[in-house]
Every structure is written in structure tokens, then in C-alpha cells.
Amino acid sequence: MSLGFQEVRLRLPHIELAAHLYGPEDGKPVIALHGWLDNAASFARLAPLLPGLRIVALDFAGHGHSDHRPPGGSYAIWDYAHDVLQVAEQFGWQRFSLLGHSMGAIVSVLLAAAMPERIERLALIDGLIPYTGEPDTAPQKLGEALKAQLALAGKSKPVYAEFDRAVAARMRGVGAVSREAAELLAQRGLMPVPGGYTWRTDSRLTLPSPLRLTHAHALAFVHGLQCPAKLVMAEQGMLLAQPKLNQLVEGLAIDVVKLPGGHHLHLDDDAGAGLVADCFKAFLDAP
């Protein structure tokens, strides 16, 4: 596995983000977006298998080595879309493609539908639309979110006495991953603290959403896509486990490929990364 990349920090007008840069400077521009609580290492296996592309694999705000949102700030999913646009502005990219996994795929869909003039192509890995909420549940959900915000100050992150214990915990976490994948994510996502290691991620990322898009909202974004889109669905992933999403995908003008593997099939092993790369090579490099 080749891990050749350049580590950079991007000073945006409102926040500083970290990223890994892959490929030649004159390659076709692609911004790669990882999943919730992951980081740029999510693309450590896949990006080197996509030659000819200039891939900016971001650490989302609050993740990896990127800055956290300011005190009082939140992590609404549409705020990530703004961050991505600012990254593109910094590179001078008026048109670019998006390679997104899980939450990163969802952000990609939102941005591509909202700003079709900016997005060339969408390459999505086991992610499409956010969890939704209907109007009648909104007051309850907001109340739960406010209570969780008040309680956050009294909570502390877990501290792992040894690196391997943190790796084991990540293997069992949301979107369970292989040991090698967990090690890659942990190497970038952990920081030393008294007593061992803890995650760099902002604790606010674990708070419940105060407001969710309705199902109709989510559908409007998916149906509003104007660029070519290709979706890889993992056979043991999260999308195929949701019957309603399966039905939704069947009615969309999106090229869907089902591959063996779990939610992180692009990171779990070289074989999975190779299969995903084979799906996206020609697609992302197309004129």
C-alpha cells in the first residue's frame, strides 16, 4: 500500500483545515470527503490507486488535524458544504469533482445539488442522504439536542492507556472497520494526553442534531443532481441494510455498483480499495 501524499493546512476565511494532497498538480481536481468521526486517512488506500487526479483529502472541521468550530458553533451538515467550497476557492477550482464516503457522500450530494455549476462529477461510497426527521418530531428532537448540549460540559472523552486499545475501540465503533483501517484512522485521529491517548475529534460531533431535513427535503437534493453520479454500495454496508434507501436508489439516475465488503470497503483492505478504484478511475478522469 502506497501512502504517498503531501500534508497541508488550508487557511480559509473562517477556519483552518488540514488535508492530504495526492497526485500531480495539473491533475483533474477532486475533493475527497470522509465519514463521521473519521479523517483524511480514510482515503489512504484508495487515493494512490486513482492516478492522474489531484485529490485533496480533507479532515472535516472538528476531525483529524483540522480546527474545531469556535465556541458556540455547531456542526450542521450544510456547514461542511460551505467549507468545501472555500477549499475549492483556495485552490482556484471553479469546477471540481467530489469523492465522498458516508457523511462525506451526503455532503457531496447536498453541495452538488445546491451548486451544480461548480461540481463536475460525484463518486459516492456507501452514502447518499442524511438521516431525516419529520415536522411532528421536531420539538422533541430540539429539546433532546438542547439537553445534550447542556450536559456536554460534564462529560469527558475516553482515555486509552495504550494505542492498541484505542484501535480496538475503533474497530467496534460506528461503521466497524478492519484492524489495519482502524490503525490508519487512529494514527491520524489520536493525540497523547495524561494517562494515554484520546481522540482529537470535537466532542460536539457526538451531539444529536437539533434539526433534520425532512424526507422530502432529502429527495429534493437527490433529484436535483445535474452532474454524472456513481454510487458504490457495500454488500455488508449501511445503505443496503435500509430498504427505503434501496427503493430510492432504484428510481434515480445514478450509476449504482454493489461490491463485497463493509461500510469502509475502500479502507479495510487492498482488495476492497482496488475494487472501488476500478469503479471510479475512468469515471473521475472522464472529460
- Residues designated catalytic: 102
* C-alpha–C-alpha distance, residues 128 and 55, integer Å: 21
From residue 261, how far is each of 29, 96, 167 by CA, in Å? 28, 28, 20
* C-alpha–C-alpha distance, residues 37 and 39, integer Å: 7
**φ, ψ at 108 (rounded to 5°):** -60, -45
Pairing of strands 53-58, 28-33: parallel
Greatest CA span in the chain, whole angstroms?
A: 53
Task: Give me the sign of the Cα torsion angle 8, 19, 113, 76.
Answer: negative
3-state SS class at 46: coil
From residue 102, how far is each of 33, 129, 237, 247, 249 by CA, in Å? 9, 9, 10, 18, 15
Helical (H) or strand (E) element with 197: strand 196-199
Buried b (16+ CB within 10 A) or exposed e, 34-62: bbbbbbbbbbbbbbbbbeebbbbbbbbbb
Q: Which cell numbers hold the place of 52?
A: 492522474
* C-alpha–C-alpha distance, residues 273 and 181, integer Å: 11
The DSSP result for 215-236, as a single string, is HHHHHHHHHT--S-EEEEEEEE
